[in-house]
């Protein structure tokens, strides 16, 4: 075939090839953008967050808030969740799959139990936490799978070791009252940061609040930081724990504080 004929055929095919090449390039670019956007966000993205809350709740108080009959709640602080601030349900198509955390189930049952529904499907609590909070936390590479998210939460829980800290400070379930300022000071002294502490307000006729939740805040580098909002940040998250008409709120520094044992009634 002559050079002239070859040139003619190439020129004849160019428009169609160019069309498909542009379509293919655009599709590849779009896929890459979607994949990267799954885990990275700009500061203006609606799902952008600045800090994580590792929430511990006191099972005895959780049971006190519920009309359900809790079956022997643990007498140690358990995990409520690992929550990015400002965001919820970032990817509603990313469903919970318990098989992805099968290697963690022993620790999950012990340290992250469903206090209220111990006799039912325990995975429902974890499903809720993953789909509401985990899909938002997944913008960090170290949390970008279900196994990483739950595994890192367990790791941070062990690192904080709240149960041991309180015991070392002489703060343990009791029929007597504590001063909230004393609890705060003990935690701040031990960790070097200020946590967020939430209580169940006094019921009618009572004079004391009941401690229910302690949250520690972490940077995106998973370093402990104060839970108080810095300049330009949003206010801390709400309690994320409401049962019936009862709801946790930030503890008062002036009210006596009850730290209940399931076998003790307060005075």
33 close to 80: Cβ distance less than 8 angstroms: no
Residue 80 designated active-site: yes
Distance CA 50, CA 232 (A): 10
Count of Cβ atoms closer than 10 Å to residue 67 Cβ: 8
Annotated catalytic residue: which of 56, 129, 131, 215? 129
Annotated catalytic residue: which of 56, 57, 131, 133? 133
Report which of 84, 89, 40 is spatially closest to residue 218, judged by C-alpha positions.
84
Give the burial class of 101: count Cβ atoms within 10 A of its Cβ; 0-12 exposed, 13-18 middle, 19 or more buried. Answer: buried
Burial code (b: 16+ CB inside 10 Å, e: under 16) for 137-168 equals: bbbbeebbebebbbbbbbebbeebebbebbee
Residue 203 designated active-site: no
**Could you give the residue numbers annotated as active site?**
80, 129, 133
């Amino acid at each position: 075939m002559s050079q002239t004929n070859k040139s003619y055929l190439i020129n004849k095919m160019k428009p169609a090839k160019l069309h498909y090449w542009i379509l293919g390039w655009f599709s590849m670019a779009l896929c890459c953008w979607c994949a990267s956007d799954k885990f990275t966000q700009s500061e203006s993205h609606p799902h952008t967050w600045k800090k994580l809350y590792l929430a511990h709740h006191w099972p005895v108080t959780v049971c006190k808030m519920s009309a359900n009959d809790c079956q022997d709640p643990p007498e140690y602080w358990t995990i409520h969740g690992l929550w990015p601030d400002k965001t919820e349900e970032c990817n509603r198509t990313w469903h919970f799959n318990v098989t992805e955390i099968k290697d963690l189930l022993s620790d999950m049952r012990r340290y992250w139990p469903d206090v209220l529904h111990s006799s039912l499907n325990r995975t429902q609590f974890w499903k809720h936490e993953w789909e509401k909070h985990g899909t938002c936390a997944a913008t960090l590479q170290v949390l970008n799978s279900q196994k990483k998210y739950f595994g890192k939460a367990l790791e941070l829980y062990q690192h904080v070791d709240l149960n041991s800290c309180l015991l070392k400070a002489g703060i343990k379930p009791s029929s007597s009252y504590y001063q909230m300022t004393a609890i705060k000071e003990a935690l701040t002294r031990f960790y070097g940061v200020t946590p967020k502490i939430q209580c169940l307000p006094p019921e009618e006729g009572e004079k004391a609040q009941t401690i229910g939740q302690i949250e520690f805040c972490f940077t995106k580098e998973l370093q402990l930081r104060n839970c108080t909002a810095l300049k330009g940040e949003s206010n801390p998250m709400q309690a994320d724990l409401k049962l019936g008409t009862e709801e946790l709120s930030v503890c008062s520094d002036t009210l006596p504080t009850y730290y209940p044992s399931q076998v003790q009634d307060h005075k």
